[in-house]
């Protein structure tokens, strides 16, 4: 467990280094502007600029930026002039909401299909139309899917899903999130791969000796195959797909005008507001590593051999 935490920490450190390095290599004065943006007031900034007549070393700049970030100071947005940190928090939560919801949708669709296909045994036959459907959905551009969803909800259900994410009454509020979550869940390109992966794993586990023993003793095969055949593969593949879902969120937030990290990142890229985009990159990577950490913890908890190491 400790080893996992240390690994995650080292990786995030590496991530921060890459993010910093990109900015360092960028043309123009960005770096100094960024660092200055982390300082609290204009006066202090002016003072520091005077004091720093000599160019600081890159690692000095890196550490000062990093320390700032770790204490929550992500710098100042070029566009708004406001500190980035608090803003990031609220949009991250919105995106997290979207991401988790869409994972749920993906699993709710993929797991039954995968289990059905693996129970059938034959790799081709009946599961083919479903597999094909999965491929088509994965190849669909998610932004177009979003427009279809909007069109349907407007014209068939008289429901305009683009209203801003205000604190609506509970029932309506839930509906407003439903559409983008559905779209992201279907369109993040992960469904067909999740189905294929889960089906393969379950089929493999069903052929294991110990499942044969369970069958021979009249026990519930499902109960024995579940851990290795479903629980572990699901956590593995979901953790692996988090980066893709986050990427999809960028687009879906654009389509639905959802105030999340993705839309903020898009805005920041347009404005070249790098303190914002860097913060988002860091938070996104943190989500990814947290997901991975969670997955490995579950694996260790379930697998007695791992637990002993």
Partner 1 sequence: MKKYTQTSGEIGDFSQLPIWQKYALVDLLYVAYGLLIVALVLVSYVLGMFNLLPHDPQQINIELLMASPLSDGYLLGTDFLGRDILSRLIMGIQAYFLPGLLAISISLIVGVVLGVLSGYRGGRIETVIVYFTNLIDSFPRLVLILLVIAAFKPDIYYIMIVMGITGIPTVTTAIANKIRFLAQKSFIEAAIALGLRTRVIIMKHILWYNCRALLIIQATLGMGEAILLETSLSYLGFGVQEPVSSWGNMVQSGANYFLQGNFWPSTAPALAILFTILGFNLLGDGLNNILEDRRGR
Partner 2 sequence: MTAAITPPLLKIDNLRTYFYARSKHSFVRAVDGVSLEVGHSETVGVVGESGSGKSIAAMSVMGLISAGPGVIGGSIKFASHRVQKNLLEGLDKFVKVEEQHGRVMVVHKDDSGWQNASERIMGSLRGKEIAMIFQNPRASLNPYITVGEQLTEAIRLHTANKSPKESTERALYWLERVKIDSPRLRFDSYPSAMSGGMCQRAMIAMALSSEPSLLIADEPTTGLDATIQSKIVDLMEELKSETGISTLLISHDISVISRLADRVAVMYGGAVVEYGSAQLVLGEDASIKHPYTAALLASVPSEQKIRDKDNLQTIDGDVLDTINVPPGCRFFARCNQVTPEIKEKCATHHPDLREIAPGHQVRCWRFNG
List residues near partner 2 by CB under 8 A.
Answer: 121, 208-210, 212-219, 224, 227-228, 302-305
Contacts with partner 1, 14-43, as mask; x by CB under 8 A: xx--xx--xx-xxx--x-------------
Considering the complex, what minimum distance in angstroms separates the CB of residue 236 from partner 2? 15
Using CB under 8 A, which of 189, 229, 233, 260 touches partner 1? 189
Q: What six digits make up the tokens of 58?
A: 């890159």
- Residue 138 touching partner 1 (CB under 8 A): yes
Q: Summarize the chain as % helix, strand, coil (round to 5).
A: 80, 0, 20
Of 8, 2, 79, the residue nearest 270 (C-alpha): 79
CB under 8 Å to 152, separation ≥6 — which residues?
none
Nearer to partner 1, 25 or 171 (CB): 25
The DSSP code for 229 is I
Nearer to partner 2, 111 or 302 (CB): 302
- Number of residues in the chain: 309
CB atoms within 10 A of CB 234: 21
| Angle at CA of residue 230, ends 187 and 204, nearest 5° | 105
Considering the complex, what minimum distance in angstroms separates the CB of residue 235 from partner 2? 14
CB atoms within 10 A of CB 276: 27
Nearer to partner 2, 195 or 225 (CB): 225
Considering the complex, what minimum distance in angstroms separates the CB of residue 231 from partner 2? 9
Helices (H), 140-190: 142-155, 170-187
Considering the complex, what minimum distance in angstroms separates the CB of residue 32 from partner 1? 14
- Residue 254 touching partner 1 (CB under 8 A): yes
Residues that bind partner 1 (CB under 8 A): 10-12, 14-15, 18-19, 22-23, 25-27, 30, 122-124, 128, 135-136, 138-144, 147, 150-151, 154, 189, 242-244, 246-247, 250-251, 254, 262, 265-266, 268-270, 272-274, 277-278, 280-281, 284-285, 288-289
């Amino acid at each position: 467990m400790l080893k996992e935490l240390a690994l995650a920490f080292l990786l995030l450190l590496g991530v921060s280094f890459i993010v910093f390095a990109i900015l360092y290599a960028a043309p123009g004065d960005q770096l100094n502007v960024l660092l200055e943006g982390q300082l609290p007031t204009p006066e202090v900034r002016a003072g520091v600029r005077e004091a720093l007549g000599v160019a600081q070393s890159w690692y000095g700049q890196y550490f000062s930026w990093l320390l700032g970030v770790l204490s929550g100071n992500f710098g100042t947005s070029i566009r708004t002039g406001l500190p980035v940190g608090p803003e990031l928090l609220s949009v991250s939560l919105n995106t997290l909401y979207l991401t988790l919801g869409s994972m749920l949708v993906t699993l709710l669709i993929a797991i039954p299909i995968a289990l059905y296909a693996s129970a059938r045994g034959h790799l081709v036959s009946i599961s083919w139309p479903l597999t094909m459907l999965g491929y088509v959905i994965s190849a669909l551009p998610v932004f177009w899917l979003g427009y279809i969803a909007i069109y349907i909800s407007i014209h068939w259900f008289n429901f305009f899903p683009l209203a801003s994410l205000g604190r609506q009454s509970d029932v309506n509020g839930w509906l407003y999130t439903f559409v983008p979550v559905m779209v992201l869940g279907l369109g993040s390109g992960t469904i067909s791969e999740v189905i294929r992966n889960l089906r393969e794993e379950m089929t493999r586990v069903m052929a294991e000796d110990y499942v044969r023993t369970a069958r021979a003793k009249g026990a519930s095969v499902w109960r024995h195959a579940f851990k290795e055949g479903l629980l572990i593969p699901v956590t593995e593949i979901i953790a692996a797909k988090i980066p893709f879902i986050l990427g999809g969120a960028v687009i879906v937030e654009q389509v639905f005008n959802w105030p999340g990290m993705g839309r903020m990142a898009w805005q920041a890229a347009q404005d070249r507001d790098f303190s914002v985009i860097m913060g988002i990159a860091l938070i996104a990577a943190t989500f990814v590593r947290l997901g991975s950490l969670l997955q490995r913890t579950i694996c260790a908890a379930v697998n007695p051999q791992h637990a002993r190491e």
